[in-house]
Amino acid sequence: MIFHTTIETSFGFAGFVYQKNPFQVIKTILPNPDQQMLSAPIGSNHEWTDHDNNAKKIVSLIQNYFRGIPITPPWELMQMEQLTKLQQSVLHETANIPYGHQKSYKEIADMIGRPRAFRFVGTTLANNPFPLLVPCHRVIKSNGSYGEFGGGSEMKKKLIELETASLLKQK
């Protein structure tokens, strides 16, 4: 059985879909001001449930992110089997981008040892099942523009601004 939960954040309602046995996050859902809009990416065949300890950990990570606290992806709790090894390497390198910083699609391609695969990097990140946990919003175009994002370019800009402001507060 597949379950989901909704989390209220400063950007609206976020969520994630998971299975319980074994616990694995299947996908995370970017915030939307309208909680009802979360049902479209979740679908109708999922059941709401109270949080178990692993689900509470994911809730805490997402809440911390929006509080300006850097997070580390809980790889052991994320369903990665549906991704190829190359796609997984893109997500891992993307997760290595420090909080409040950005890298280009080309830089990620270089980091995975495929310097000409920047379009592959873009496609992989466009289909990132774990936005927020894997911060694909930190990947920008080589010319410094934001580029595309599943939550829209305005949300990408706001996430980058959130991280920048949080870093400035810490100094």
Residues that are catalytic: 136
Q: What is the DSSP letter of 68?
A: T
Upstream peptide bond of 98 is cis (omega within 30 degrees of 0): no
Distance CA 162, CA 168 (A): 10
Report CA-CA distances (Å) from 52 to 3, 29, 30, 43, 63. 11, 19, 21, 21, 16
DSSP single-letter state for residue 98: P
CA R_g for the chain: 16
What is the Cα–Cα distance from 133 to 44, expressed in whole angstroms? 24
